[in-house]
Amino acid sequence: MATATIGGRPPLPPFTRESAIHKVRLAEDGWNTRDPGKVALAYAIDSRWRNRSEFINGRQDIIAFLSRKWAKELDYRLIKEMWAFTGNRIAVRFAYEWHDDSGHWYRSYGNENWEFNADGLMAARFASINDLPILESERKYHWVLGRRPDDHPGLGDLGL
């Protein structure tokens, strides 16, 4: 299967089951870098987002949003899972764990709907997210910060 490149950004729509799953994993890997500039390259220059109750338009707003997010959500670790796909759209469910600067831990659950342009860049992202306070002892994500290891359980395996 093709790997992500800045030029063509494979996989491209229309998606197959395999290419949609691969696209979701590439997105997960990107977000787990917590590098706003790198992550923003996966989005069209004029990408439109709704993240919770915030409306974000364009790459510069995406970079600013992600910078604020990861300054607040410390030790962020994310797992995404493809839920459904068709043509140039993918629906995703996800959960991530993080703590605030007071040491309070959370697991945030959500769903995203993605729409891609012909170049494989995300043109629209609509995310609904809920935060659940958890004890540090209830954490399920313990890998070293960065990419989730291939042998780490996914959401279904973890009962999430």
Q: Report d(CA 36, CA 46) in Å as an integer.
A: 16
Q: What is the DSSP pairing of strand 105-116 with strand 89-99?
A: antiparallel
Give DSSP secondary structure letters for 50-103.
EETTEEEESHHHHHHHHHHHHHHSEEEEEEEEEEEEETTEEEEEEEEEEE-TT-
Nearest to 78 by CA among 111, 32, 36: 32
Tell me the three state secondary structure of residue 38. helix
**pLDDT tens-digit series, residues 15-36:** 999 999 999 999 999 999 999 9
17-138 belongs to which CATH class?
alpha beta
Domains of the chain by residue range: 17-138
**pLDDT tens-digit series, residues 103-135:** 999 999 999 999 999 999 999 999 999 999 999
Q: Report d(CA 69, CA 35) in Å as an integer.
A: 11
Q: Report d(CA 140, CA 137) in Å as an integer.
A: 9
Given a cut of 60, is residue 146 above it in pLDDT? yes
**pLDDT tens-digit series, residues 52-98:** 999 999 999 999 999 999 999 999 999 999 999 999 999 999 999 99
Given a cut of 80, is residue 7 above it in pLDDT? no
How much is the pTM? 0.93
